[in-house]
Amino acid sequence: MLRPRSLAALALALAIPAFAQAPGDGVVAGNDVDGTFIRNNGTWESMPSFGAVFGLAGDNAACTLYYASTRPSSFGRSVGVLRKITRGDLLITDVGDFSALGEDGNLMLITFVGLAFHPTPQGGELIGYRSVSGGTVNATDPNLDSTDVPEGFYRINTTTGFATPALIIPTPDRNLWDFGGIDSDGTTLYGANDNLTATPSSGGVPGLYRINLSAGTFTLVSSYPTSASYPNTGMSVRDIDGLAAGDGRVWLVPDERLTTVRPFVLATNAYAASQDLPTPFVAANNIVVFSAGAYLPCWLVPASTCDSIDFNGDGLFPDDSDLVDFLSVLAGGPCSTNTCNDIDFNGDGLFPDDSDLITFLRVLAGGECNP
């Protein structure tokens, strides 16, 4: 059965970009005020967003964007929630509340400040970073005392939001690390350490790190650019809450509107100010609380050439019978002429899905297959 769609949702889906052409295309940036944006053909375009964004992660194999967000609760505290959208979908899906077992063994509702999708031989895993500031709430009874769910990295179930520890930061070291931004380039997991109290003598220097979850190690790649070389970022550029790793670069996504998104180029082992992207953020107070980043070039890949608009093959087109037959076959019903084309109208290999219907309606109305 076809699900009802709002006109606003349909318009949003039709606005999905089509092709990556310029440096930085595929970088996704979001924050807790302005929403979410993707770089396409040298400009920022809005992406679907629902609620504040604290973390983002892109699974390019499934072309799915994951969001770490929050929702209000009946007991007066925000609850962390995992959301996602896959290319071709009209709406964002709520996967479930973030949860984990507390130190007393009870199920706790928690929050995450960073997300990364890290490919594995088994297909990939969603990694979340939990900071010490993230609240915990007893999932059974919010009035009961909460117990600690330690700071560190967690593997998150992408169908439930339940998290299990991948690497816990030892208590004596928690004043050294604050990985608000994490992302994987398909091989290496990277993290942006924002800790303000760490020093070269104490360890945990603010900067970009390679993270090895199995070995439990953090290797400094580079300290952050200085304020003098990085415009309008304030003290020591220490508030990088988002990363986007891909195309041989790791992009720093600050939570400010008057600066840039700067890439660290892995081949040259240096930041490239000449490749800076203007920030898409416009929050009036300049500094927002959280930002997030991901790299999702699959979102920009065009669909294949569309089938003929004469869907039912009766030689008359465009006409109402093509639409009637398309909707019938899409819903699993018969074709009136018994000569209908396959339901994968846009030829992207995914069917039946929302994007086939959206593309069919656009072409039926005289639009292009790949706008």
Distance CA 88, CA 355 (A): 5
Structure tokens at 58: 């892109």
pTM of the model: 0.74
Residues in the chain, how many?
A: 371
Average pLDDT across the chain, whole number: 83
Section 203-214 average pLDDT? 89
Q: Picking from 135-149, 167-181, 182-196, 351-365, which range would have the lowest pLDDT averaged per residue?
A: 135-149
pLDDT of residue 202: 64
Work out the pLDDT band at 159, boundaries 50, 70, 90. Answer: very high
Does pLDDT of 211 surpass 80? yes
Which tens digits make up the pLDDT trace of 216-245?
Answer: 999 999 988 876 556 554 444 557 889 999
Own/partner long-range contacts of 248-254 (Cβ < 8 Å, ≥24 apart): 249/275, 250/183, 250/185, 250/190, 250/208, 250/221, 251/24, 251/27, 251/277, 251/293, 251/295, 252/181, 252/192, 252/208, 252/224, 253/29, 253/181, 253/291, 253/292, 253/293, 254/279, 254/291
CA–CA gap between residue 83 and residue 52 (Å, rounded): 11
d(CA 67, CA 294): 10
pLDDT at 117 over 80: yes
CB–CB of 322/84 below 8 Å?
no
As a whole number of angstroms, the distance between CA 38 and CA 352 comes to 26
The answer regarding whether domain 19-300 maps to CATH 1.20.1260 reads no
Q: Is the confidence at residue 305, as pLDDT, over 60? A: yes
Q: pLDDT confidence of 11, banded at 50, 70, 90?
A: very low
- Residue identified by tokens 């979410």 is 36
Lowest mean pLDDT among 122-136, 214-228, 320-334: 122-136
Q: Is the pLDDT of residue 250 over 70?
A: yes
Query: Which has more pLDDT, 109 or 296?
Result: 296
3-state secondary structure of 27: strand
* 308 — pLDDT class (breaks 50, 70, 90): confident
- Of 98, 108, 101, give the one whose Cα is nearest residue 146: 108
Taken in order 30, 34, 36, 40, the sign of the CA dihedral is: negative
Per-residue model confidence (pLDDT) at position 371: 58
What are the extents of the domains in the chain?
19-300, 307-371
Between residues 234 and 328, the one the model is more confident about: 328
Q: At residue 106, what is the residue type?
A: N
- 276 within 8 A of 262, measured Cβ to Cβ: yes
The lowest-confidence range among 167-171, 279-283, 296-300, 309-313 is: 279-283
Tell me: pLDDT of 60 over 50. yes
CA distance 163 to 112: 10
Over residues 63-89, the mean pLDDT reads: 87
